[in-house]
Structure 1
């Protein structure tokens, strides 16, 4: 495993050739970017979601170039506040072409999942996302080890087979 920076991850997510998949398994995150917007949501304040514009444009560019972006969110029900907020802001990303889907954690009990969330880039490179207990990101590590790539690909596809499309999922 090799540690990479957030800039390295951003570069990978903007330059992949065919596909990027993202498996999320935590009920709460605390990214520096998201925390202020989640706090606004918690206070009931409106958010125009303009802070998502750059990512949404990147998604549209990927789709226009024939690349796919899929995200599976394994969630506990009832949803955590973080996941309720995350659900509330997903429409612009879905509209831009990211296929976001949800799966209740109880449905994944028989699936072996990697110990960390990950991105799988072009089915050739895995980037693991490491978090503190608070949900703050602490590191990114990457590998092209074929056994790890296969493990993550298989886990993602097993989860994906159970997912519910974003607009069909009814948050509990």
Structure 2
């Protein structure tokens, strides 16, 4: 039986104005690119084909349609090895057209920050990401309940307004 839930790809492809992403974890599941970085293998930024992924293309296409794509990361300091790698890899997000900011967790004390990572598309649909304690992806949950979307959009904006642009956040 086909699922009636939207996919990230569908939501991003259908976005007309905005897509915002809040990340709250200090580590996620391991992946081959992270493991390569841990071994000292670094990206050849001059060779775009070696690091450009379908995700980056989707973001670039959305930005090309006029969608503003923003990502905010709330991180503990000192940062984890995984966050150090994400900071390094963020160059690809920026190249795709994302605007990325970082908020040290200690600077978020006065903010009401949601419990789960999420994406919000056009202030209409929210996609929550659920992870295990070890950072393994478990499932996505979608909602178009206006009050829930509005509440999380407001939380994102608070984080965004207090966060530092990527080029001003040093690891």
| Alignment TM-score > 0.5, same fold | yes
Aligned length: 165
Correspondence for 1:43 among 24, 36, 39: 39
Aligned runs of 1:130-169 on 2, under 5 Å?
130-169=130-169
TM-score (norm 1): 0.89
For the 8 Å contact 2:71–2:101, the answer to whether it is kept is: yes
CA distance, structure 1, for counterparts of residue 158 and residue 89 of structure 2: 26
- Mapping of 1:1-172 within 5 angstroms? 8-30=7-29, 35-48=31-44, 50-171=50-171
Higher relative contact order (CA 8 A, sep 6+): 1
Determine if contact 1:4/1:142 at 8 Å carries over to the other structure: no
**Which 4+ stretches in 1 moved above 4 angstroms?**
none
Q: Secondary structure at the match of 1:90?
A: helix
Unaligned runs of 5+ in 1: none
How far apart are the structure 2 equivalents of 1:43 and 1:120? 35
Contact 1:4 1:140 (C-alpha < 8 Å) held by counterparts:
no
What SS class does the counterpart of residue 60 from structure 1 fall into? Answer: helix
1:87-132 Cα distance to aligned partner (Å, 9 max, x none): 1111121122100110101111111122111111110111110001
Structure 1 residue matching 2:71: 3-state secondary structure: strand
Indicate the RMSD between aligned Cα atoms, in angstroms. Answer: 1.9
TM-score between both structures, scaled by the size of structure 2: 0.89
Contact 2:24 2:117 survives alignment (8 Å): yes
